[in-house]
Structure 1
């Protein structure tokens, strides 16, 4: 197991996470600003609006594609070099998409932009976990989540205003500029740590991945993450089509509908920050996921009363997002620390499994939505959260029990 010097959370040590969260904000708003504009983009390219969710799913697929390389590479070259290179690549792909002329080239560039997700998840998050003490690392992740959540809060409103007043191209110019600024912050403030790994043939990387994937406990904890996060990901991908095209909301009304849902996520993170030092690690997830399941039940009930579906949808999704805010950072920490393999490789594996799950489910639900519309969405949310109470919940209980046996709070 790696033994790295960790730091206490302070104003000085917080500068690196703030620089990282600016890039994270750029990557997230690279989705949340674009999704509201997808109806206009598909119209400009002369294709069906059913292509709109694919912008997000290809973005996530790109995130999964290079994670397996970036994590082990950062173990060997250092997190800072790989992170700075990834930020620069993201800036270039944001500028390159301005030249696209059809939906195929647009989605290809969205795929390449998605590499930025892996830079954050497989490199940036691993650096945070290694740089801070356990509970401080979770607090930093929650604080970063709150800042980065400005992206899904502001993105839909800015995206709606953008497509009404200027071209969608300006969104990518703004995203590239923010990421460019974050590059300078990371260069100045990120610790230049490098994990000491014995010189081994490149084939040993595959051996490390196999060791991680053979760890049943790791798989239990990791698969709890997409099951918990999937309803909100489906909301971000499909809500433009549901609210604007199907239920006739204006672009601005759609943007405003995001505030209670994403506000719930921020509230959940704030509650986590307040209570994490009072309860055993993992307890917040045990309390939060039943709340999320109750939110899914409200969404499903709305399916049976169509006149009230939109209020039920927003209320249920707000409860779901609140529960996710209380639990996601904790479960991520459990998953990352469940294997003794180098953390870059473990974080890369988590990222690949997470992004591939997101891509697969979003594309499946996108197709189902064309046939069963809101029923596909509501039942998918319900099923995902119901599945969490099986194998993943058992994994969390086991992890909490092991911590208790080891005298850890």
Structure 2
């Protein structure tokens, strides 16, 4: 059916047009998955009051989502190697739509946590099938540029999702946020069904063999270059998630700002991911991946030091932490795309297996970020300043180790 539509729209005869269209359709759908977190962040205090639950349980609706993001990659990666990328990605889309509708309708926190978990499971299919297709279709520099553009669109979720959610909350309750996302996802999945190319044709697919699969996973996990570059990405990602989980309570509950003000703060912070992605797009040809990673991590480390100092000297100066987070996001954005591509290129195992490990580690660090926010949260700026400093040092340590290994080769 999808091929008939491609032929009707004149896309079937032009593979380049189809390949160029796919990343934007993927990110159009992907952004709904992230908005499922970011758009309802301003509603967390309202959700806690509506369901009569404590703050830490409301925060665990974020953690449940991240647990879902770590649950299926190791299965779905080889599954997409065997049965193709389209089946996996579209199946995940159906799961996301159903679970989002349940989130909008339920009044039970246990049901909500379960539905949030399955929302996260849908993310697994984006990494293992959607992004595998990007790496298979495009060469190194082209892929990094596309990932930068996709990243600059995807970060509209954390940048403007809270603001959009805050605006909706002026007239509607938190359930409508999930209702809007369900409709959006239906449109996105339908477009992917019509136009997504299959980057893993039948003649290239690999039979499912448990022993070979385990061997591939062990080889990837033992690949130092892959692990260190993945750690660079995951450490900075952890910082972003910790803020996403703790930010609403720091800004709204502790500092008494409105949900609309919180949305504006998020736009300022995560807007720097968009700015950084544009810098990568326009400088990757001249600077190269390694130099962009180094520049980005220098900025990340400076932001961590600044956050620590400002929260020690001015423990009630929220804007100091906001400025530090803006720097952190900009530096992280410079390193995200190049570090991801270098990590993926470091392995020769099947793409599905590589993306399965990468996505699993990414989701695991997301869970750690959510748990840190849930169980170490003190309601002070110094708490987050220390956390951001430690995370910045971890990312830079991973990069230093990469440089040591390169010098020895």
TM-score (norm 1): 0.91
Q: Which residue of 2 aligns with 1:166?
A: 172
Stretch deviating more after TM superposition (265-274 or 302-311): 302-311
**Whole-Å Cα distance in 2 between the matches of residues 397 and 344 of structure 1?**
29
Q: Report the CA distance between 1:391 and its aligned residue.
A: 3.5
Is 1:53 the equivalent of 2:83?
Answer: no
Specify which of 375, 382, 386 is matched with residue 389 of structure 2.
382
User: Deviation digits for residues 142-201 of structure 1, max 9, x if unmatched?
Assistant: 111111122122211121122331121111111111111111221222212326244353
Is 1:238 the equivalent of 2:246?
Answer: yes
SS in 1 for 2:377: helix
Is 1:216 the equivalent of 2:224?
Answer: yes
Stretch deviating more after TM superposition (79-88 or 307-316): 307-316
Q: Report the CA distance between 1:94 and its aligned residue.
A: 0.5
Q: 1:307 to 1:24 in 2, by over 3 A?
A: same
8 Å contact kept, 2:321–2:381: no
8 Å contact kept, 2:307–2:320: yes
Q: Which residue of 2 aligns with 1:3?
A: none
Q: Which residue of 1 aligns with 2:377?
A: 369
**Whole-Å Cα distance in 2 between the matches of residues 9 and 389 of structure 1?**
41
8 Å contact kept, 2:104–2:177: no
Alignment of 1:10-409 (within 5 A): 12-194=18-200, 196-306=204-314, 309-370=317-378, 373-395=380-402, 398=405
**Whole-Å Cα distance in 2 between the matches of residues 269 and 158 of structure 1?**
22
**Whole-Å Cα distance in 2 between the matches of residues 234 and 200 of structure 1?**
37
8 Å contact kept, 2:232–2:396: no
Q: 1:258 to 1:364 in 2, by over 3 A?
A: closer
Q: 1:200 to 1:108 in 2, by over 3 A?
A: closer
Q: Report the CA distance between 1:309 and its aligned residue.
A: 2.2
**Whole-Å Cα distance in 2 between the matches of residues 153 and 199 of structure 1?**
41
Q: Report the CA distance between 1:11 and its aligned residue.
A: 5.4
Cα RMSD of the aligned pairs, angstroms, is: 2.1
Q: Report the CA distance between 1:292 and its aligned residue.
A: 1.1
Aligned residues: 394
**Whole-Å Cα distance in 2 between the matches of residues 83 and 346 of structure 1?**
16
Q: Which residue of 1 aligns with 2:4?
A: none
Q: 1:300 to 1:10 in 2, by over 3 A?
A: farther
**Whole-Å Cα distance in 1 between the matches of residues 373 and 191 of structure 2?**
39
**Alignment gaps of 5+ in structure 1:** 1-7
**Whole-Å Cα distance in 2 between the matches of residues 307 and 226 of structure 1?**
28
**Whole-Å Cα distance in 2 between the matches of residues 138 and 321 of structure 1?**
18
Q: Report the CA distance between 1:136 and its aligned residue.
A: 0.6
8 Å contact kept, 2:315–2:380: no
Q: 1:294 to 1:308 in 2, by over 3 A?
A: farther
Q: Report the CA distance between 1:131 and its aligned residue.
A: 0.7
Q: 1:82 to 1:198 in 2, by over 3 A?
A: closer
8 Å contact kept, 2:69–2:124: yes
**Whole-Å Cα distance in 2 between the matches of residues 175 and 387 of structure 1?**
35
**Alignment gaps of 5+ in structure 2:** 1-13
Stretch deviating more after TM superposition (207-216 or 256-265): 207-216
**Whole-Å Cα distance in 2 between the matches of residues 222 and 80 of structure 1?**
25
Q: Which residue of 2 aligns with 1:4?
A: none
SS in 2 for 1:277: helix
Q: 1:22 to 1:198 in 2, by over 3 A?
A: closer
Q: Report the CA distance between 1:397 and its aligned residue.
A: 6.4
Q: Which residue of 2 aligns with 1:5?
A: none
Q: Report the CA distance between 1:364 and its aligned residue.
A: 2.6
8 Å contact kept, 1:60–1:117: no
SS in 2 for 1:351: helix
TM-score (norm 2): 0.91
Q: 1:89 to 1:340 in 2, by over 3 A?
A: same
